Amino acid sequence: MKILIVGNGGREHAIAWKLLQSQQIEQIFCVPGNGGTASMERCQNLPLSMNDFEGIGKAALKHGISLVVIGPELPLSLGITDYLQRQGLMVFGPTRAGAQIEASKAWAKAVMREAGSPTAQAAVFTEAAAAKAYAKAQGAPIVVKADGLAAGKGVTVAATVAEAQTAIEAIFQGQFGDSRFVLIEEYLTGQEVSVLALTDGLTIRPLLPAQDHKRIGEGDTGENTGGMGAYAPILVTPALMDKIETDLQNVIATLQRRGINYQGVLYAGLMITPDGNFKVLEFNCRFGDPETQVILPLLETPIEDLLLACVKGQLSQMPPITWTGAAACVVAAAGGYPRAYQKGQLIKGIEAAEALGACVFHAGTQVKDQQLVTDGGRVLGVTGSGKTFAEAIALAYAAIDKINFEGMYYRRDIGHRVKSSVSF
Ligand code: AMP
Ligand code: GLY
């Protein structure tokens, strides 16, 4: 079986790595991939843009691809699945209509209401004056969200009304993509958990709950990033997990009623509220990054069987998914990230890190003149797995200590909540 993966992050490297554990997989192609996917045996990068649907379709047909797996939200929201399906290809990832669950927060809220999902109260506005007046009337803290995709930067948790109003202005000025709507949302407190579920459009199969660390600084301080680390599994009680699963099932049923056969990953960003219940903060239409880098190393069921069951509508026939152990991923970022940073720094020490037994997933790297150099803000994700969190975290840190590039930064406290043994 040959598989083509679209994307260039740590998530896509982890998916490729997991697939390659199966002897059934003859070859993987990544569009465009990164330095990590370029270095694995039976894996090859194709120098195409992720948004070149025609080029991807032609390459997939030429290479006899059995399944195309789409990593990021942008091509999904632009309809890559619809296009490739029209070429007769099997595609893991929702159609453009389904991807609206991430690409439009107003649409997602409407689906949540219809599905009965517990979520923050929100109001939607099409112009700044009314939005600002509403924010003022509600008072701070309050959450301001751009409707559309904004590369993870479209949400402001405003501590003051003035901050909320600045965020509203910025969204309508187009600083976060071309959102035509602003959502103003009730501020929720609690612990965030990511529950990613596989779905074939009818059946839901949740993966292990994970938690990421979004802030740049230790103690969850400073600016938001694409994710500085993650760990799994989060201990969610069976009763709460059942409620979450029922909610995801209701969302899929709501999408079916709207004529959408949603296949792929439905990723719920949840807030576990202090009363032990949950509220949905957002839905994403894809695997999480860096959650995937801690979930997949723990998966025992062959991933290709699960992905194929989703696209063939056969998920209900799959035996229960099985898992082992715990994992933690520490992200090595370029100095200065999430603001301006340098690219092209030589990366050393990956073999030594891998020799300890860790998985080094590449994100912003490339091979240039036969050397591995940095090529993005989040450069690598180093995952340690073990029987316990203590083992997993110790391995991730021992391994990342072997790696260096100029300006390399990473958080020293990934998994800190595990140590205070939080469970829900
Ligand atoms: P979203 O893209 O909607 O998940 O928002 C990004 C981040 O903003 C979330 O991971 C939360 O940390 C935070 N956030 C979003 N909505 C809320 C809310 N209603 N209350 C508090 N924090 C929120
Ligand atoms: N880890 C956050 C995301 O993938 O959106």
Q: What is the CATH number of the domain that holds 361?
A: 3.90.600.10
Residue that terminates a domain, selected from 53, 75, 97: 97
Please tell me if the CB atom of residue 229 comes closer than 6 angstroms to any atom of ligand 2.
no
Residues 6+ apart with CB under 8 A from 64: 2
Residue 331 lies in a domain: yes
What distance in angstroms lies between residue 38's CA and the mean position of ligand 2's atoms? Answer: 24
What distance in angstroms lies between residue 62's CA and the mean position of ligand 2's atoms? Answer: 33
Pair (59, 156) in one structural domain:
no
Please give the model's pTM, rounded to 2 decimal places.
Answer: 0.96
- The number of distinct structural domains making up the chain is 4
Pair (310, 360) in one structural domain:
no
* Pocket test residue of 225, 289, 296 for ligand 2, highest count of atoms within 8 A of CB: 289
The closest ligand to the CA of 378 turns out to be: 2
Contact 84, 68 (CB under 8 A): yes
Residue 292 lies in a domain: yes
What distance in angstroms lies between residue 16's CA and the mean position of ligand 1's atoms? Answer: 30
Domain that residue 36 falls in: 2-97
Nearest CA to 295 among 358, 230, 232?
232
The confidence score (pLDDT) of residue 420 equals 45
Pair (202, 289) in one structural domain:
yes
What distance in angstroms lies between residue 136's CA and the mean position of ligand 2's atoms? Answer: 30
Contact 42, 25 (CB under 8 A): yes
Residue 411 lies in a domain: no
The closest ligand to the CA of 118 turns out to be: 1
Pair (341, 387) in one structural domain:
yes
What distance in angstroms lies between residue 287's CA and the mean position of ligand 1's atoms? Answer: 18
Contact 15, 292 (CB under 8 A): yes
Residue that terminates a domain, selected from 317, 342, 372: 317
Pair (142, 87) in one structural domain:
no
Residues of the chain with pLDDT under 70: 419-424
Residues 6+ apart with CB under 8 A from 311: 67, 90, 91, 92, 200, 263
Please tell me if the CB atom of residue 190 comes closer than 6 angstroms to any atom of ligand 1.
no
Strands 91-92 and 43-45: unpaired
Contact 399, 350 (CB under 8 A): no
Q: What is the DSSP string of 322-360?
A: -B-SEEEEEEEE-TTTTSS-----B-B-HHHHHHTT-EE
Residue that terminates a domain, selected from 317, 348, 382: 317
Q: What residue has token string 């049923």?
A: 253
Q: What is the CATH number of the domain that holds 289?
A: 3.30.470.20
The confidence score (pLDDT) of residue 419 equals 53
Closest residue by Cα to atom 9, ligand 1, is 281
